[in-house]
Structure 1
Amino acid sequence: MTKPTSEDQQRAIKIRELRVYRGPNYYSYEPSIHMVIDLGPLEAAPTDLLPGFTEQLVALLPGLHDHQCSRGHDGGFVERLVEGTWTGHVAEHVALELQRTAGHEMTRGKTRSTGERGVYNVIFGYLDETVATLAGRLAVKLVNHLISVVDAETDVEGAVPVDLDFDFTAEHEAFLLTSQRVAFGPSTQAILDEAISRDIPWQRLNSGSLVQLGHGKLQQRIRATMTSMTGSLAVDIASDKELTSRLLAAAGLPVPSSEVVRNADDAVRMARRIGYPVVLKPLDGNHGRGVAINLSTEDEVRAAFEEAYDQSRRGYVLVESFITGKDYRVLVIGGNMVAIAERMPAHVIGDGVRSVAALVEQTNADPRRGVGHEKVLTRIEVTDSAVELVRAQGFEMADVPPPGEMVKLALTGNMSTGGISIDRTFEAHPDNVDIAEEAARVVGLDIAGIDFICPDITQPVRETGGAICEVNAAPGFRMHTHPTIGEPQFVAKPVVDLLFPPGTASRIPIVAVTGTNGKTTTSRMIGHIFKGIGRKVGMTSTDGVVIDDRLVIRSDASGPRSARMVLQNPRVDFAVFEVARGGILREGLGYTRNDVAVVLNVAPDHLGLRGINSVEQLAKVKQVIVEAVPKNGAAVLNADDVLVAEMRRACSGEIVWFSIKPNNRMIADHCRRGGKAIILEKVELGDQIVLVHGRRRMPLAYTHLLPVTFGGKAMFNVQNAMAAAAAAYCAGAHLHDIRAGLRSFTSSFYQAPGRMNLTEVRGVKVIVDYCHNAPAMIALGDFVDRFFEDSVGTTVERPQRIGVVATAGDRRDQDMVDLGYQAGKHFDRIIVREDERLRGRQPGETAGLIVDGVRRAQGEGARVKEVEVVLDEIDATRVGLERANAGDLVVLCVDRARAVWDQLQTIGNVAQAGAGEEFSDA
């Protein structure tokens, strides 16, 4: 075989990027895994040109025969393999099938070209992200291995040598073990399945079984079968078996005689006092570990004591009388019995042919048995204690029991030790049910597993003999949801009923805001309106995470992780999320849906990043929040933006338009059919924001009376206010509350830092704003042109306009030139700076491109007369103020708004101090 001359010639798939989307995203409505894979030379080698590849793949993963692919029938994918499909598509199906072998049934997937030859986006769904990412990587390794085997057999030029160390069976087993370790247990999964069926949202809070159900203040938590309502004191009581026994006895409930000991001699002494046979168990144990029953001699007691002592956390062992009968588990939830299972310990039944060891092997071959909680039954482990128990019954592991003879391999009937269960829910005598329910109430558990030992659960225990031997907190559900014999019981339903009684809400309202410009201001307006109503608003934005008007995390928090943080906060009852392009492309939305989606505008910005190269693709990214609107939700869309208006086709809920342009025919037709819109009307007293709902017209506010619009001159904030009003109306706010919110919201630094903050320093008017792209500069420039329209009595004949401008280094070169070009149209003097983080650019590179745009505008006769470069943001701020005279306007396009604002206050304070000294000297 010819070895490759370079890595680029190797016939192997390479994973360029792997991402986890934890919610609706650019590629799918559901959580997905996204792999960008490079086929390299395999682009020219579909599967029909790889002899033996299909046969070997299907032999390793026969479940691929069930994949329909695009054919709509089982076997469709195998047909595609035979006819010829690309190996990227194969990796997608292999990843899905690997998840399926781990018990994660998933069929969603697609493979699409990125536009670059041989490079594909492979998208597939998941139930657990860890399992899915492992499946994706193992899928690529398997496909590459099979390709290398094919290449070795056909002596292909540039082939990868066969990886002799790759053992798919071993890799697959390791994958399954990891999947089992990270997966939820059967009890947690049963509760989650019930919650999901009721549309209750959930989040996993750790790598174990701690799960949050519901959002914000409506949330409840579970850990396995312990809930937010499970009392710590009740768990402590249930964990102390001796205390439990005393409390139950005091309540008149049947319990065995018992004593607590700390050494083997005391155990023997108490066994004599109670009377043989006896049971030994750790006082605070669980899952049946360390329990020994039917002990009849001192030697047996001493031997059992050591094992029980090892399993006890505090070193106490309980000696109690042995109650003969069958082992029953009664599950009580919310004070009511919901299921009863008869438990039988791990055992085999002789057939007169096979040995005990062979019978165990045959039993473990049952496909329902797995390791731990992997499947509905657990494999029987032949431990030393199991061998001793078999010997006590008169057999060795190599002996052949007679037909019909039961040979026990464990003393207790726990499912975790290989036991089986028989459903007896509808057979129990009412008196026994009452006893179990009373026991749960005495201990105080909302979810309790009551262990009964009695001859027959159908007969009253008080008459036939028997007792409650344990009350368990966090009882397992597997014996009830997957009984070996009998009908399964849906025990998760009463748990969810307990946490969320019928009619109880589990979701808080979510408003998502996106757009190229104006997201933060609009989000803050919406949050301000609902805070005025009395709601506890959780908000994310580029400023940080705000909980009830308090900034708790200062960072760019416009992504999905911040959204999940808000939804975890137990105080929040209303959420407003600023949703940025980057977060959607990085992780998806991070939540399943939003009640109201607001899209302000779409303009060229951040293009050329993460495969988004056109404004149309950018619009598709921002459209994700519209796609996440349910049927009873609403999308608030800018009718004046063509790309935003097109998003109406992707919305399942209602559309609410907003527009500053008069006589919009689309809006008129929409409202004529009973729709809603926010429009701007010119009336005698000025521009008025009006809510139109069908034939009703409801005035909201005059634009010049809204502080954030600077007397109606900042048209971009007029649009933001209209969008905020529409979103608030859709989210249930009253018109009076919307009006009050808009009239009291200001653009002060303390209410909207870095968003059109106006101050005065040494007689110079200064505006601090986060303007960083050409579309924003056009809007800001329009405001600057209007700023001095009503000025009277200024100290200068023609106030000077000074702009300090910059943009982030991850924009395209042309975007930077365009920013400078637009700034040149509106400012007399421009000072170009750079952000502290250059994002891959060389110092001065970004500034140079902006200067090129300013020079271009200057050459076309634009307003700008002078341009200079001061790279540091604080230095540029000082220079801008030094160049200004009293009455001038300085606009600072900031990156670090807090640092710039503090600098302005320092300069202003110094100026005031100087003026005071001068006055005192006079």
Structure 2
Amino acid sequence: MPVIEWFAYAGPNRRSDRKVVEVTLKFGPADQNAFPKSSNEIKRLLVEAGILTEVEHFPGETLPGERMAWYASLLMQTALLFQQKAGHRVSFTSVSVCAGKQLCIALVEHQHIDVGMTAVKLAIELLTGKRRLLAEPFRMFREFALQRRLPVETEAIIHAAAERDIPCIQLEQNPYKREDFSDLTGGASIRNNGLLMLGHGKFQRVLEGTFPLDGPEFLKDLLRDRDRRRALLDQLEIPVAQPGTAAGVPAAQFHLVVVNGEVTTLTGPPHVAPPCLDDVHTTYVKYALDINREVGLAPVAVSISSEDIKISPQGPGDGVIDFVLAPKLESYTAKQAGGVPGGVQTSANAIVEWLFPGRCTARLPIIAVTGTNGKTTTTRMINHVMTFAGRRPGMVCTDGVFIDGEVVEEGDACMDVGHFKVLTSKEVDIAVLETHHAGIMSRGFAFQWCDIAICLNVSEDHLGVGNVDTVEDMAAVKQALPERARHAAILNADDPFCMAMLKAVKAEKVCLVSMELPFAELAVRAAGRKACFCVLEPVDSKEWLVIHDDGKRLPVTPVDGIPATFNGMARFNVSNAMHTAVACYLAGVDVNSLGQALQCFTSGYDTTPGRMNEFDDLPFRLIMDFAHNPDGFRNVAEFVDRQSVNGRKMVVFAGTGDRTDETLEKMSAELAGHFDFYFCKEHLRLEDANERKRRPVAKVMQKGLLDAGVPESRTVVLMHGEEVIFSIFDACHPGDLLIMLLGHVEKHLLAGYISKYIRQGT
């Protein structure tokens, strides 16, 4: 039996623009002959359960010949069928075999994350032989899925918004819950599963079904109160149809759906040929348009009674019966098999045009940042520059969610859940979003595309999880972000993994950033592409950050004028500043403001907690950083080599238990030879660590030092906690430089430790 794992993306993702469940199948030699041998075996069970009939074709697509791909495709088509039979309009599956790994990645589309996951689970139970009797499990699944099915009109509105490139967020689906928006809904439900937000930030509009929840209050009054609707008809001098008939001829009912001053659909009595809109007398059309105008052009269905709708009203039985706000569009259009009825789509298109007339803006500009190291610093730098330039940024980073400079949520939020908090805020005018690999791998994106994407670097870190076993695998994950850049993709030309992404980037412009290569060489590498560049060049005998764009040479600032670079000695922050500069330049910040902003960005704890924070209150020099992988440790070691120190160079470092011994030893080996003494300590108290990290690693990291030639007498293994930190401080003398490479927990505690240590007069 193959090993099968699966999870669902909540939005667009590295595999597809659609929401999909990703299934990983790992095959062994015995799985080549496992059940089922034939797709007919599965079809027979589906027919026996009443899910299929004998005459229905299954599977819907031809199965591949190779056994592993055959099995995966049959599994995905079965999960797709379950959803379709429960009323979910899904159509996409995909299968990719990973060469040489006996591994297969398969995808199946879902409309609702829980339904997609449950459909895959049921399909797995069927294909692995765990479940042969399907009738009752499928009945329960279908009932579950029907409760979560999108209304037809909501599906049509989502499609219309996508055609207009307007972002759409489903507010009753993961990561949201309906109760999160009770201030808008008032706790009542107009259309189950129909709650949508169209547009970002201050441009957003919120619909439930076809009703504008953010519209004027009088619309809600009209929605609930027929007497108020009757009063409006009287005010407009529109005759209300009286019960009864004229001349013994029964009056018929007709329904006109009107949106944005346009009649979009017309339906008549059942079992009668549908009327033609051109045949409707202009008086009835005027009634409908007058009502639509009075409700602010919001969607409305006007019910009319008439003996003959082709002529003007003739008697008391002719006129408007009532009108419905929040019309259920499917009720006012001819039924059709499969797909969204044309009349529903026409009305949905008109609704989107009403909410966003012409080509008005619906999106926030988005700058998204990924990479192995430097993401948070670069994100914070961009946020700082944007604020300096008069913008109101919303920022997400590993420290939390920040709206216009104020923290609204603390903790790592660098995936879609945190990104949505910025994209739905009315207080911001640009989004600056740190985007880490875990979010890309497990959740997908909160946006279909971003304006500017940055990939800073790719190096060894977080490997061995989710079939990401090599740096090349990780580069493929991170590449998913610059692939979604529309205006510009910014790549580190000094990193071969970033440069390899160039051919996959489809943005209007690429920007190559290099501390090592001259502009002319970068221009050759970007030949054939619309491009700009950020390099280091001498200006008046100083090293300057310079942008080259469209024939213009734009000096931004001397490198040693950026405090976060420690006079240019923290080269990794020079690189971060360069990526920041070109991103903000491409986002419209003028070069003068850009230079001034970088010159007042510091690496203080308040600005970038845990990133090259220097503390001045001790008799020795202390710098704390969050370096946590081999490349980060190497960057710190190179920085220390550039420092002039009267005393000793000392380092405190920790690793986490979810890293392999090989990686931990590589990390400590990067420090070997650069310091006079090494404090190898535990990252956390083991009882406080999560299960993946719950193992001691300080001795493993000490071994990396010893293997690299550091004498054991210049190392010590320590545990975790305040007293350990105090003992390290006690070991330092005036003139020493102490580098502390701490984890998430201790980086927030260090300032308190220092204050207490000083108060105690130790």
Shorter-chain TM-score range: 0.7 to 0.9
Shift of 1:255: 1.9
- Computed over aligned residues only, the root mean square deviation of the Cα atoms, in angstroms, reads 3.1
Q: 1:108 to 1:726 in 2, by over 3 A?
A: farther
Amino acid paired to 1:219: Q
Determine whether 1:534 maps to 2:353: no
Cα-to-partner distance string for 1:879-919 (whole Å, 9 max, x where unaligned): 222112223222221222221122223334555xx9xxxxx
Paired AA for residue 454 in structure 1: S
Counterpart secondary structure, 1:491: helix
- Shift in alpha-carbon separation, 1:143–1:885, aligned structure 2, 3 A: same
Q: CA deviation at 1:876?
A: 3.4
Which of 513, 530, 533 pairs up with 1:658? Answer: 513
Give the C-alpha shift of residue 780 in structure 1: 0.9
Asked if structure 1 preserves the Cα contact closer than 8 Å seen for 2:656 and 2:693, the reply is no
Equivalences for residues 690-729 of structure 1 within 5 A: 690-729=546-585
Q: Does 1:885 align with 2:733?
A: yes
SS at match of 1:833: strand
Match of residue 475, structure 2, among 589, 597, 619: 619
- The alpha-carbon deviation at position 773 of structure 1 amounts to 1.5
Aligned CA distance change for structure 1 residues 780 and 605 (closer, same or farther; 3 Å): same
- When residues 593 and 443 of structure 1 are mapped into structure 2, their CA distance, relative to the original with a 3 A threshold, is closer
Aligned partner (choices 740, 746, 751) of residue 901 of structure 1: 751
Which of 850, 862, 866 in structure 1 is aligned with 2:701?
850
Tell me, yes or no, if structure 1 residue 22 matches structure 2 residue 22: no
* Whole-Å separation in 2 of the counterparts to 1:690 and 1:31: 41
Deviations 1:524-557 (A, max 9, x none): 1111111222222121111111111111111111
Q: Which amino acid aligns with 2:334?
A: H
Residue aligned with 2:595, SS: helix
Distance in 2 of aligned mates of 1:843 and 1:85: 38
Q: Distance in 2 between matches of 1:802 and 1:323?
A: 100
Q: Is the 8 A contact 2:255 2:302 kept in 1?
A: yes
2:151 counterpart of 1:185: yes
Contact 1:238 1:443 in 2 (8 A): no
Instruction: Report the CA distance between 1:805 and its aligned residue.
Output: 0.6
User: What displacement does 1:44 show?
Assistant: 2.4
Deviation at 1:571, TM superposition (A): 2.1
- Name which of 256, 260, 264 aligns with 1:330: 256
Which protein is bigger by CA-based radius of gyration?
1
Q: Bigger CA drift: 501-510 or 236-245?
A: 236-245
Q: CA deviation at 1:648?
A: 0.5
Q: State yes or no: 1:635 paired with 2:635.
A: no
Letter of the structure 1 residue corresponding to residue 7 of structure 2: R
Letter in 1 for 2:512: W
Give the alignment partner of residue 306 of structure 2, picking from 454, 458, 470. 454
Q: Among 266, 277, 288, which residue is 1:436 paired with?
A: 288
Deviations 1:458-513 (A, max 9, x none): 22226674232222221111144435799836111221111111111222111111
Task: Please list every run of 5 or more consecutive structure 1 residues that lacks an aligned counterpart in the other structure.
Answer: 1-11, 69-75, 146-159, 258-276, 279-293, 295-321, 348-419, 792-797, 915-922
1:193, 1:84 → 2: CA distance?
35
Change in CA separation of 1:520 and 1:842 when aligned onto 2, cut-off 3 Å: closer
Distance in 2 (CA, whole Å) between partners of 1:210 and 1:842 is 40
Give 2:616's aligned residue.
760
Matched residue SS, 2:575:
helix
Q: Residue 93 in 1 paired to residue 81 in 2?
A: no
Matches within 5 A, 1:823-838: 823-836=671-684, 837-838=688-689
Structure 1 contact 331–450 (Cα < 8 Å) conserved: yes
1:347-380 deviation per Cα after TM superposition (whole angstroms, max 9, x unaligned): 8xxxxxxxxxxxxxxxxxxxxxxxxxxxxxxxxx
- Which residue number in structure 1 is paired with residue 334 of structure 2? 482
Matches within 5 A, 1:131-210: 131-145=115-129, 166-207=132-173, 208-210=193-195
Q: Percent identity?
A: 27
One-letter amino acid of the structure 1 residue matched with residue 696 of structure 2:
E
- Asked if residue 130 in structure 1 is aligned to residue 114 in structure 2, the reply is yes
User: Aligned pair 1:340/2:266, yes or no?
Assistant: yes
Q: Distance in 2 between matches of 1:446 and 1:755?
A: 51
Aligned equivalents of 2:622, 2:273: Cα separation in 1: 77
Matches within 5 A, 1:720-869: 720-788=576-644, 798-836=646-684, 837-840=688-691, 845-859=696-710, 866-869=714-717
Give the secondary-structure state (helix, strand or coil) at the position aligned to 1:329. strand
Asked whether the equivalents of residues 22 and 591 of structure 1 are also in contact (C-alpha less than 8 Å), the reply is no
Q: Which amino acid aligns with 2:251?
A: G
Structure 2 distance, partners of 1:423, 1:18, is 50
- Residue 230 of structure 2 aligns with which residue? 245
Which whole-Å CA distance do the structure 1 matches of 2:232 and 2:40 have between them? 70
In structure 1, C-alpha distance between the alignment counterparts of 2:578 and 2:68, rounded to whole Å? 54
2:634 partner SS: helix
User: 1:731 Cα deviation (Å)?
Assistant: 2.3
Aligned residue identity for 1:800: R
Is residue 107 from structure 1 mapped to residue 73 from structure 2 by the alignment? no
Moved more, 102-111 or 542-551: 102-111
Match of 1:45 in 2: 33
Q: Among residues 553, 564, 570, which one is paired with 2:409 in the alignment?
A: 553
1:12-68 deviations in whole A, cap 9, x for unaligned?
A: 5553x2211234444445432112345567522178955963763796476655744
The secondary structure found in structure 1 opposite 2:608 is: coil
Checking the alignment, whether the CA contact within 8 Å between 1:440 and 1:471 is kept in structure 2 is no
CA contact (8 A) 1:670 1:676 kept: no
Distance 1:483 1:116 in 2: 48
User: Residues of 1 paired with 2:618 and 2:363: CA distance?
Assistant: 51
CA distance in 2, matches of 1:575, 1:657: 22
Q: Report deviation, 1:658.
A: 0.5
Name the counterpart of 1:33: 21
TM-score by length of 1: 0.73
Gaps in structure 2 of 5+ consecutive residues: 174-192
SS at match of 1:109: strand
Pick one of 499, 503, 510 that aligns with 1:649.
503
Instruction: Work out whether residues 690 and 700 of structure 1, in 8 Å CA contact, stay in contact via their aligned partners in 2.
Output: yes
* C-alpha distance in structure 2 between counterparts of 1:675 and 1:247, whole Å: 59
Distance apart, 1:660 and its partner CA: 0.6
Q: Is the 8 A contact 1:248 1:442 kept in 2?
A: no
- Partner letter of residue 706 of structure 2? R
1:856-875 CA-to-partner distances (Å, cap 9, x unmatched) read: 3344x7xx962222321433
Amino acid at match of 1:478: E
Kept after mapping to 1: 8 A contact 2:369/2:375: yes
SS in 1 for 2:105: strand
Q: Cα distance, 1:141 vs. partner?
A: 2.5
Relative distance call for 1:226 and 1:42 in structure 2 (3 A) is farther
Distance 1:623 1:752 in 2: 26
Letter in 2 for 1:753: P
Amino acid at match of 2:458: V
Deviation at 1:238, TM superposition (A): 3.9
CA offset digits 1:116-140 (Å, max 9, x no partner):
65x5432223333333222212222
Aligned amino acid, residue 19 of structure 2: P
Q: Distance in 1 between matches of 2:695 and 2:489?
A: 42
Cα distance, 1:250–1:659 mapped onto 2, change above 3 Å? closer
Whether the 8 Å contact between 2:45 and 2:134 is mirrored in structure 1 is no
